[in-house]
Structure 1
Amino acid sequence: MGECADVQAIHAMWREAVEQGGIGHTAGAFAILEEVARSGRRFGAPALESLALSTRASLLRQAGRHRDAAAIDGRALLVVSPTPPSSTAARRVTHRAAVLDAIVGLAADHLGQLHLDATRRLLARARSVVDVDDAGWPAGRRPRLRIEWVSAELAMYSDDAAAALEHAERGLHLCAIADTPRRHRVKTELVAAAAHAAAGQSQVAARAAAKVTDDARAGGLLPLEWAALALRHGLDPADHDVSAALLRARRLLTGHGVPFTDGRTAGG
């Protein structure tokens, strides 16, 4: 009973780190993730240690540090066994979630470095692992949604606007269920806006990105607000209000510990 309670407490810490990262408090998220990884090792919970590493990698990836993120996602995949545990159903779900987070994270890391073939291979691997019949969020719809995000971005980088729109639409469909977290809904709408931009539908993209900006701001999702502003700036560099808001958002994120690079970012 005590061991189960310990693992639950570690899982709760990981969720708190995810929330902190989602609102842009990256330094705080990093500190919590360090403790999650240590505790996962101490209590024999490799899936939670792996999730902590993958989450750290995702925060680095958001800042444009795809190579650094790839190294950490690689460690996350090594930490967790490819064979699911034979214990409780909850542990099997956490295990599958950890494996998929690492694989999809690696796909996004390679996309950000323009390693498109590697991204395709990793996405195919993720699709072979994900349980399409799992209607739950942690290891069912969540990883499937992340696969659609990265698939849409890969299609954009491959100049396949039709495929990007198709993957974005699949993502929106996965978000239609009520228990989908707000952050994932907003991110999916952002991916869809980018897909419309890639398809040359600039006005549709601009309206969608403006809505994402408002939704992200209302939810305190500063990283997504910044990303939506960046998309709008790309669509209309002459919009000085957007440029100023983009600069403010970046300064706030930097103050919260986001280790930005000056490179182009991609991946989800």
Structure 2
Amino acid sequence: MALSTRASLLRQAGRHRNAAALDGRALLLVGSSGAPEPRNRTQTQTHRAAVLDALVGLAADHLGQVHLAAARRLLARARGIADVADTAWLAGRRPLLRIEWVSAEVAIYSADSASALEHAQHARELCTVADTPLRHRVKTELIAAAAHAAAGDLLVAAQRAAEVTADARAGGLLPLEWASLALRHGLDPADEDVAGDLTRVRGLLVGRGVPFADERTAGG
């Protein structure tokens, strides 16, 4: 799980190939199915969470390299392992939520806006439980905004992205603030306030060690 977390930080910076190497190592360590002779239910859940982190992370890594077929195969494997009956956070709703996020993104890249909106809605439904962390709620709304943009609902997308910016800023969620500003900048490149905020937040992230792959990635 530590390797997958490290991979996610590299992936956010646009270094998808580097992230894939770490997610691949994580999957190699934990295997790709059930826990080997689990001693108890907690061990089984933790193992499933680790397997799903690696699989969904790899799917996102391949998506970032526009390997859409590989991303779909990895998501299918993850869905086959996920336990939809597990309503707890760690190995139940959290990995299911991440599967919906990446599925929505794959649909966006595949020009299938209807599926993107459907996956985004499923993700929002998973966030209705009270113990869902703020970071995951805000990320889910960001995915929904992107899905609306892909569907051509630009006003809805801009409004939701602006709400994500405000919520991320209030919650101290700097990477999500940057991502929402990048989306808004793409929707309206002429908005100088958004462009200025995007530059400012990028600088803060770089100062905290985010290794952006290049200027294009840093700008969203």
TM over 0.5: yes
Q: Is the 8 A contact 2:13 2:217 kept in 1?
A: no
- Give the Cα separation in 2 of the matches to 1:80 and 1:166: 31
- Give the Cα separation in 1 of the matches to 2:207 and 2:167: 22
- Give the Cα separation in 2 of the matches to 1:129 and 1:68: 25
The corresponding residue for 2:185 is: 233
Structure 2 residues without counterparts, runs of 5 or longer = none
- Give the Cα separation in 2 of the matches to 1:207 and 1:136: 31
- Give the Cα separation in 1 of the matches to 2:147 and 2:193: 23
2:196 matches 1:220: no
Q: What amino acid maps onto 1:248 in structure 2?
A: R
- Give the Cα separation in 1 of the matches to 2:44 and 2:189: 48
2:90 matches 1:132: no
The corresponding residue for 2:11 is: 61
What aligned pairs does 1:20-35 form with structure 2 within 5 A after superposition? Answer: none
- Give the Cα separation in 1 of the matches to 2:128 and 2:20: 31
- Give the Cα separation in 2 of the matches to 1:141 and 1:62: 22
2:127 matches 1:164: no
How many matched pairs?
215
1:118 aligns with one of 66, 70, 73: 70
SS at match of 2:85: coil
Q: What amino acid maps onto 2:196 in structure 1?
A: A
- Give the Cα separation in 2 of the matches to 1:86 and 1:74: 22
Greater RCO (Cα-Cα under 8 Å, separation 6 or more): 1
- Summarize deviations over 1:11-69 as a string: whole Å, max 9, x none: xxxxxxxxxxxxxxxxxxxxxxxxxxxxxxxxxxxxxxxx0000000000000000000
SS at match of 2:178: helix
The corresponding residue for 1:27 is: none
Q: What amino acid maps onto 1:88 in structure 2?
A: N
CA RMSD of aligned residues (A): 1.0
Q: Is the 8 A contact 2:103 2:116 kept in 1?
A: yes
Shift of 1:91: 1.2
- Give the Cα separation in 1 of the matches to 2:69 and 2:144: 23
The corresponding residue for 2:200 is: 248
SS at match of 2:39: coil
2:27 matches 1:74: no
2:122 matches 1:174: no
Q: Is the 8 A contact 2:34 2:48 kept in 1?
A: no
SS at match of 1:99: helix
Q: What amino acid maps onto 2:147 in structure 1?
A: A
2:85 matches 1:144: no
- Give the Cα separation in 2 of the matches to 1:255 and 1:162: 38
- Summarize deviations over 1:89-116 as a string: whole Å, max 9, x none: 1111110000000000000000000000
* Stretches of 4+ aligned residues off by more than 3 angstroms: none
- Give the Cα separation in 1 of the matches to 2:46 and 2:166: 33
Normalised TM-score (structure 2): 0.96
Q: What amino acid maps onto 1:153 in structure 2?
A: E
Normalised TM-score (structure 1): 0.79
Q: Percent identity?
A: 70
Deviates more, 1:256-265 or 1:142-151: 256-265
Shift of 1:133: 0.4
- Give the Cα separation in 2 of the matches to 1:83 and 1:109: 23
Q: What amino acid maps onto 2:194 in structure 1?
A: V
Shift of 1:88: 1.9
- Summarize deviations over 1:105-160 as a string: whole Å, max 9, x none: 00000000000000010000000000010001000000000000000000000000
2:206 matches 1:257: no
